[in-house]
Structure 1
Amino acid sequence: MAHTKNDILTILGTPIKPGESKEVNFDVANLHTSTPINVPVIIERSKKPGATVLFTAGIHGDEVNGVEIVRQIIAKGINKPKRGTTICFPVINVFGFINLKREFPDGRDLNRVFPGSSSGSLASRVAHKLIHEIVPHADYILDFHTGGSGRFNAPQIRVVKDDEQLNEIAEIFGAPFVLYSKNLNKSFRHTCAKLGKPLLLFEGGKSFHIDDVVTNSGVNGAKRVLNHLNMLNSKFKVSTPKKDCIFISESKWKRAKYSGMFKASAKISSKVQKGDVLGNITDPYGKFNYFVKADNSGYIINVNEAPIVYQGDALFHISTALRE
């Protein structure tokens, strides 16, 4: 969607000319106290034509590390493009973010209501507005997430297996891992795929937590993608990933055989061999100690950091097959 010199972009009713910077307000509903909520969307346009990249985070209100990545992209000026346009939307689910809750106040998961409806639930209305008023302007979307409560994700990109364009951009992003996963129905990623909008979903860290390694992986990946599109301002250096990206085509969870107190000893992102001790489950009374062992060799892409686990809880996410 390369723009011409006279191309005016209108987002949420605000016109933005090439060369302009604007902060527009994404508002859907007031708080229950009737206090208005102004959710800023930051738009930076170069005078030179080019692609439009949308950075999003905070679809789940407790996933603050994703918000931190987009915050740094703005604070460092990475979003000021050499050509083209960037749109930064750091906190989509501001209602959840205020309460540090994953869902909306009505309990709905925003990532399960896309493409939404203008007359539906609050989450559905936010989804509808995002899909109709912001997404149409984007050529590429980078959406930042974290793992769930207590479960720490290695920095990773998630894409569908058979999309060549997404595979190429995922490799350019340069996160340590690319995990092939299907698009979930009614998710932001699934809706964007149906609209023909290439979306990279970044996962890293866990909810209620900001981790420097995860943040750096997200920010550096964003820089590499912008650089690939010839949009990155020349004052920024692009780092080469420390090691080649590992594409994981299949993986499975190692689950707790017993309930108890849990301590992981295997490190996130490490490679383990079948039979290696990954951690142990004990009881509070010092009578019982069970060693959790790897069922197969592979990379650890998620570690449960909760101190207490129940039988059947997911402890480690381990790769079982890599891309050939």
Structure 2
Amino acid sequence: MIYNKEVITILGEKIKLGESKEVTFEVAKLHTSNSVEVPVFVERSKKPGPTVLLTAGIHGDEVNGVEIVRQIIAKGINKPKSGTIICIPVINVFGFINITRDFPDGRDLNRVFPGSLKGSLASRVAHKLIKEVIHEVDFIMDFHTGGAGRFNAPQIRIIKGSKKLDQLAQKFGAPFVLYSKNLNKSFRSTCHKLGKPMLLFEGGKSFHIDNTVTNHGVNGVKRVLHSLGMLSAKFKVSKPKKDCVFIHESKWIRAKYSGMFKATAAINSIVQKDEIIGNITDPYGKFNHFVKADNTGYIINVNELPIVYQGDALFHISKDKI
């Protein structure tokens, strides 16, 4: 692999070694004829190194991921001492403006990759991202949060069987590394097929910025960049407080009844099989169902909604032997 070509082309803009450039990703035009544009920040060192892409906001309501990439830019962490760093803080700007998950066409952007030049609006944006950005990229870190009121413990998601991804996930240093399959037509799946490795970070929940989760994301990026020889010497690299736990198997506990829900088990904690971890009640004081853990494991996701319906996901628990 040839690192740091003399000139790279991002969204039609040629960027030379040592240059910094803010490139425009023109998503579409509104019905008012106004253009909808997303800024893409490209920072290139004069020294050779990989090209790393940081993305967030594929789902417009996942603002915690946007905050992580924003901090990377604001603090100057994206100015590499070697290689190239590209930042796209908000891919789904339509969803971000309206604080909604999907595109105006009702589609989930993360289910239409690699997209199509003649497809739906979401499909066209996916196509442009793949064809005009990803072709120049060597490695990606993509930032997400839990959806529908479910709070994710900070975690990296990767596929099994890649030593390179295992090593990069270890370097990132999130509390958990969860092995999960690439979903069909997702950004991660498409990048994998193109030979572009990705760490997918999950942390927090939609409509919410959590300082602890944000710190995990920012510190993880610094650790990875440092391991690649790209982080400026002015930034300190902290060691994770605990070794990250690799999770090979996990299970969702779902609500057996509809009602008012309250979790009693904390995120990141270890629970024992048959331990009471929450309860579901009715509004009238006539019913109280205790939710118990099906197995011993780590709590890696908790539903924080006060009202749940039968079948709703309540807890995500690891199943690996502790």
TM-score > 0.5, shorter chain as reference:
yes
Matched, 1:178 2:177: yes
User: Cα RMSD (Å) of the superposition?
Assistant: 1.0
2:297 is aligned with 1:303: no
Distance 1:257 1:190 in 2: 33
The separation in 2 between residues aligned to 1:48 and 1:259, in whole angstroms, is 59
Preserved CA contact (<8 Å) 1:249 1:322: no
The residue correspondences of 1:253-292 to structure 2 (distance < 5 A) are 253-292=252-291
Q: Which residue of structure 2 aligns with residue 114 of structure 1?
A: 113
The yes-or-no answer on 1:135 pairing with 2:144 is no
- In 2, Cα distance between equivalents of 1:281 and 1:25: 49
Query: What CA distance in whole angstroms lies between the structure 1 residues aligned with 2:312 and 2:32?
Result: 39
Find the aligned partners of 2:64 and 2:30 in 1 and give their Cα distance: 24
Report SS of the residue matched to 1:61. Answer: coil
| Percentage of pairs with the same residue | 75
CA distance in structure 2 between the partners assigned to 1:310 and 1:129 by the alignment: 39
2:300 corresponds to which letter in structure 1?
A: I
Question: What does residue range 37-76 of structure 1 map to in structure 2 within 5 Å?
Answer: 37-76=36-75
CA-to-aligned-CA distance 1:283-321 (integer Å, 9 cap, x gap): 100111111111110000000000001111110000012
Task: Read off the aligned partner of 1:257 and give its amino acid letter.
Answer: K
Aligned partner of 1:149 in structure 2 is: 148
Q: Which amino acid aligns with 1:159?
A: I
Answer yes or no: is the 8 Å Cα contact 1:149–1:208 preserved in 2: no
Residues 109-135 of structure 1 show CA distances to partners (whole Å, capped at 9, x for unaligned) of 111110001111000000000001101
Equivalent residue runs for 1:13-92 within 5 Å: 13-92=12-91
Counterpart of 2:4?
3
SS at match of 1:318: strand
Q: CA deviation at 1:18?
A: 1.1
Task: Quote the Cα distance in structure 1 between the aligned partners of 2:169 and 2:8.
Answer: 28
Q: Which one-letter code corresponds to 1:3 in the other structure?
A: N
In the alignment, structure 1 residue 294 sits paired with structure 2 residue 293: yes
Aligned to 2:251: 252
- In structure 2, what is the Cα distance between the partners aligned to 1:221 and 1:33? 41
In structure 1, the residue corresponding to 2:208 is in which secondary structure? coil
- Runs of 4+ deviating beyond 4 Å: none
Aligned length: 321
Contact 1:158 1:200 in 2 (8 A): yes
Q: Does 1:105 align with 2:92?
A: no
User: Could you say which residue in structure 1 is the equivalent of 2:210?
Assistant: 211
Give the Cα–Cα distance (whole angstroms) in 2 for the partners of residues 292 and 253 of structure 1: 12
Distance 1:181 1:3 in 2: 31
Contact 1:66/1:146 (CA < 8 Å) preserved in 2? yes
- Where does structure 1 lack aligned partners over 5 or more consecutive residues? none
Shift of 1:34: 2.1
Cα shift at 1:322: 5.5
Question: How many angstroms apart in 2 are the aligned matches of 1:157 and 1:83?
Answer: 25
CA distance in 2, matches of 1:10, 1:293: 54
Q: Distance in 2 between matches of 1:197 and 1:13?
A: 20
Q: TM-score, normalised by structure 1?
A: 0.97
Q: Following the alignment from structure 1 to structure 2, what is the Cα–Cα distance between the partners of residues 181 and 33?
A: 42
- Contact kept in structure 2, 1:265 and 1:278, CA below 8 Å: yes
Q: 1:179-198 residue pairs with structure 2 within 5 A?
A: 179-198=178-197
Cα shift readout 1:206-245 (whole Å, capped 9, x = no counterpart): 1111001110111111001100000000000001000001
- 8 Å CA contact 1:174–1:241 kept in 2: the answer is yes
